[in-house]
Each structure stands twice: as structure tokens, then as C-alpha cells.
């Protein structure tokens, strides 16, 4: 079936047109999104969202369905990067503010050690992939459940669980040298 036939089937609302478009264009769209995001999981998420939005979209046939989907994948990828950049900046600012707030309790040595540990944890957290860090912060700092995080971030519940697990592992790996060093102190 030619692309123009598929376009016509979609515009007529024929059953199976969405599945045909998905089968035909998904891998190409993922390649486009991957070139922009640099991450396969992100590319898959972008394309999934494009196809989920397609039934209610504004596509009216002025361009080919491929062109419409291509532009949607590009826009979705760029928006994801913008959102990630903005969240990372806000997280760093919040983390920086929390690290410079003065502590009044305890002795000076413990305050210095606590500051060093907090700085190391902050640096380790910044090495965690942004989407994993985001769900970790929502879980740990805000105390949200997986379901609440999924609803808030508009993510599948399984993705939240996977990102939490991966984020914890990344944080554990980043903190391993610090934990070994702390374990050696008297």
C-alpha cells in the first residue's frame, strides 16, 4: 500500500489505519527522535506519545501523514529536551539552596562532615539520569507513591518503577566511593 493510500484510509477513518501507520512509521520515527534525544528509551516514549495523540490530532491531510508524524516526533523530542533542561536547572537550584542553609545544631566538626556528605550526595544525585533523578526526588523528597508519580508525570506505572530502580542503582554506584571512605573513618 502506498503512503497516499494510507493517508486516505486515515482521513476516511477506516479501521486499521492507525495500526498500519504505526507498523509502517514507528521505527523511522524512533530513529528521528533518537537523533534528537540521544536516548533510545526517550525516543520510544516520544513516538508512543505521538501515536497516542494521533486519533485526536489536527491532521487533516494538508501534508502527508508521514510529514505530520515526523514533525510531531521532532517537536515532541525538542519539547522533552527543553523540559528536561528546565527541570535539571530547577533541581540544581533547589539543591544548591538546601546545601547553603545554615545548620545550628551539633558541634562544628559534625556540621562540616554533614556538609561534605550532603555535597557529595548532591553531586552523586546530579550524575543520575534526569528522568531517573526526577522520580527519585518525587519519591524521596515529596513522598509520592509510584501511582502518584505516574499520574503527575503522565508516565506508565511500569516506567516509574523501572526509573526508580535504575535511579537507585545509579545513585548507589555514584555514592560507592563515598560510602567506602565513610566506612574507613574512625
Specify the CATH number for the domain of residue 9. 1.10.1740.10
Q: pLDDT of 59-90, one tens digit each?
A: 777 888 889 999 999 999 999 998 888 877 77
Any residues with CB less than 8 A from the CB of 51 and at least 6 apart, and which? 18, 21, 22, 26
pLDDT in tens, 131-151: 898 898 888 878 888 898 999
Is 155 within a domain? yes
Please give the biggest Cα pair distance in the chain. Answer: 76
Domain membership of residue 91 (yes or no) is no
32 has a pLDDT exceeding 70? yes
Which grid coordinates belong to 144?
Answer: 509520592
- Domain of 120, CATH number, reads 1.10.10.10
Residue for cell digits 526517550?
42
Q: Are residues 107 and 43 in the same domain?
A: no
Its sign, for the CA torsion 168, 164, 81, 38, is positive
Q: What is the pLDDT of residues 108-133, one digit of tens each?
A: 776 776 777 777 788 888 888 988 98
Question: Is residue 93 a part of any domain in this protein?
Answer: no
How far is it, in rounded angstroms, from Cα 43 to Cα 28? Answer: 11
- Would you give the end-to-end CA distance of the chain in angstroms? 73
- What's residue 183's pLDDT? 57
State the DSSP code for 163.
Answer: H
Residue 25 lies in a domain: yes
In a domain, 92, yes or no: no
Q: What is the pLDDT of residue 17?
A: 85
What's the domain count of the chain? Answer: 2
Share of the chain above pLDDT 70, in %: 87
Decide if 161 is inside a domain: yes
Q: In sequence order, what DSSP letters do the residues of 135-155 get, joined into one string?
A: HHHHHHTT---HHHHHHHHT-
Query: Region 23-34: what's the mean pLDDT?
Result: 94
Q: Do residues 22 and 67 share a domain? A: yes
Domain range spanning residue 114? 102-184
**Count of other CB atoms within 10 angstroms of residue 39:** 19
- CA gyration radius for the chain? 22
Q: Is residue 87 part of a domain?
A: no
Please tell me what DSSP assigns to residue 15. Answer: T
**Cell 548507589, located at residue:** 172
More confident: 182 or 115: 115
Q: Check whether residue 62 and residue 113 sit in a common domain.
A: no
Task: Please state the pTM of the whole predicted model.
Answer: 0.50
Amino acid at each position: 500500500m502506498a503512503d497516499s493510500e494510507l493517508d486516505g484510509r486515515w482521513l476516511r477513518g477506516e479501521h486499521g489505519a492507525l495500526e498500519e501507520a504505526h507498523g509502517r512509521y514507528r521505527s523511522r520515527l524512533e530513529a528521528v527522535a533518537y537523533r534528537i534525544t540521544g536516548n533510545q528509551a526517550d525516543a520510544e516514549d516520544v513516538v508512543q506519545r505521538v501515536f497516542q495523540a494521533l486519533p485526536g490530532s489536527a491532521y487533516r491531510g494538508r501534508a502527508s501523514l508521514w510529514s505530520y508524524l515526523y514533525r510531531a516526533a521532532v517537536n515532541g523530542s525538542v519539547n522533552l529536551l527543553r523540559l528536561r533542561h528546565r527541570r535539571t536547572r530547577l533541581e540544581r537550584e533547589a539543591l544548591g539552596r538546601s546545601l547553603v542553609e545554615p545548620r545550628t545544631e551539633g558541634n562544628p566538626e559534625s556540621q562540616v562532615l554533614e556538609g561534605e556528605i550532603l555535597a557529595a550526595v548532591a553531586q552523586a544525585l546530579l550524575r543520575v539520569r534526569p528522568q531517573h533523578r526526577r522520580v527519585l526526588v518525587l519519591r524521596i523528597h515529596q513522598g509520592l507513591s509510584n501511582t502518584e508519580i505516574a499520574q503527575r508525570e503522565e508516565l506508565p506505572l511500569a516506567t516509574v518503577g523501572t526509573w526508580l530502580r535504575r535511579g537507585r542503582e545509579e545513585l548507589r554506584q555514584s555514592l560507592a566511593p563515598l560510602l567506602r571512605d565513610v566506612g574507613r573513618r574512625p
